A = this chain, B = another copy of it.
Amino acid sequence: MTYISPLSALAYPTRLALFETLRKGPHTVSELTKEVSVSQPAVSQHLRVLKEARLVRMRKAGNQRIYSLDPEGLAELRKFVDELWDDVLAAFEEAAKKEQEERNND
């Protein structure tokens, strides 16, 4: 099964390395290729995955393609983790409440 998501897109080391480079600012494909130890086609393939996951976006500039972070997709990732964090806090409160009740039963 193939499952494109921001999480799976960032799961692989080489792809994460490309993404981390893009955090520093927009880069062309050849610049990105210099940053990692894989071939240019491999970089293009990773960029496609990142793009489909809406983590990065691309604009053409003459001969080159400039990749950069995609604010829209990243906003969704942020939302996911924010909501996740709400659940974590809720679980904490629930656990604290139960502990309190157990103390009262003594």
How many copies of the shown chain assemble into the complex? 2
**A34 interface residue (CB < 8 Å to B):** no
CB interface residues, A 1-15, toward B, < 8 Å:
1, 3, 5, 7-8, 10-13
A8 and B84 CA atoms in complex are apart in Å by 17
* A7: chain B residues within 8 A (beta carbon): 7, 10-11, 16
Would A11 and B16 be within 8 Å (CB), given that A25-B94, A81-B77 are in contact? no
Contact digits for A2-36, partner B, Cβ 8 Å, 1 yes 0 no = 01010110111100100000011110000000000
Residues of A in contact with B (beta carbons under 8 Å apart): 1, 3, 5, 7-8, 10-13, 16, 23-26, 68-69, 71, 74-75, 77-78, 81, 84-85, 87-88, 91-92, 94
